[in-house]
Structure 1
């Protein structure tokens, strides 16, 4: 790897961690960098295991902090502790976003970036609300209950979509403005 790509890689890794920990800043529900991190990481880290591990680790690390330090203080009456089991649908959708982004953002253009943001936000909405329907006894286990789950999630979808698009613009914009190339660090043809 040449010196320019090494510097870009370091910058991308730091930016992903900073974005992940920006989740501790007060924000509207679901207006987070989660989808932006998945797309940004998948684009720059290519089709390598790092495209999964780096964004996933940053999400997990920020979740550990938020769920073990912030939530117990803010919501002591509701907080029952952080479990990965409860986050299965979030992490699962996050992992599905990465190959989706590989296909949609094979080359960088603004329209492709927006399309990828729309698609990954929609994927997150569909998967996590399906998980809510499946695991939450408030929803009947039939099509009506599933539909109710999706309707209940619509207000959160708006913020997810806005957050993903906003963070995608910020992550890619900061990279470009900082003088780094918008070319992937690793080639897309590489195998996992």
Structure 2
């Protein structure tokens, strides 16, 4: 097997394993979604694979978990996060991964709660005040969760899983130095 194909298979396996981890019990929104998108965007040199592999892994896990009315917002945030990985993480450093994970958390929060406001719930008036009320409610909605709230769960999940995915691949590259040179 050519080294590039082995590298692609390894990256894909890491992403699929992370996506399937969504099937085990976890705190609400403490998931690898943002990390998968960042990781794919950062590591696949073929841009279509940067989108295709993470989106396919996400779709596989969602087929098992199920879908809801605002899935379009989840996938939009996911696609934009792949773009963040492609742009910001061209040079991978701990600081850039940390910052990108935080940015993807904020992006996910803003987009998915915009979807709730826009029509998935019907609870909020279609005004700026209604949008603001939706965001405030989202911050307070999960106060009894492990990390305090939905937003913080998303941040902690993105940071944790980004460390796991990027760290795992760095360990793999130490065992297979040719991966560092493969495009």
Compute the TM-score of the two structures, normalised by the length of structure 2.
Answer: 0.85
Distance across 2 between alignment mates of 1:55 and 1:168: 14
**In structure 2, distance between residues paired with 1:94 and 1:113:** 16
Indicate the structure with greater helix content. Answer: 2
Deviation at 1:101, TM superposition (A): 2.0
- Provide structure 2 residue ranges, at least 5 long, that are not aligned to the other structure: 140-148
Alpha-carbon distance change, 41 to 19 in structure 1, aligned in 2, over 3 angstroms: same
Per the alignment, residue 65 of structure 2 pairs with: 66
State the alpha-carbon separation in 2 of the partners of residues 45 and 146 from structure 1: 36
The alignment covers a number of residue pairs equal to 170
Among candidates 141, 153, 166, match of residue 160 of structure 2: 166
Query: Per-residue CA shift, 1:152-192, capped at 9, x if unaligned?
Result: 22221111111011001001111122324574854xxxxxx
Cα gap change, 1:113 to 1:15, in 2 (>3 Å): same
Unaligned runs of 5+ in 1: 68-81, 187-192
Structure 1 residues 141 and 170 mapped into 2: Cα distance closer, same or farther (>3 Å)? same
Mark the CA change 1:7 to 1:138 in structure 2 (over 3 Å): closer, same or farther: same
Question: CA 1:65 to 1:86, structure 2 compared with 1: closer, same or farther past 3 Å?
Answer: same
TM-score with structure 1 setting the length: 0.82
Equivalent-residue separation in structure 2 for 1:110 and 1:183 (angstroms): 17
* Structure 2 match to 1:134: 118
Task: Give, in whole Å, the separation in 1 of the partners of 2:111 and 2:181.
Answer: 28
Structure 2 equivalent of residue 32 of structure 1: 31
Asked if the contact 1:45/1:185 (under 8 Å) is kept, the reply is no
Cα deviation per residue 1:41-80 (whole Å; 9 max; x = unaligned)? 111113511111111111111000112xxxxxxxxxxxxx
Mapped to 2, the partners of 1:16 and 1:45 lie a distance apart of 11
Q: Secondary structure at the match of 2:31?
A: coil
Contact 1:42 1:52 in 2 (8 A): yes
- Structure-1 separation of matches of 2:117 and 2:151: 15
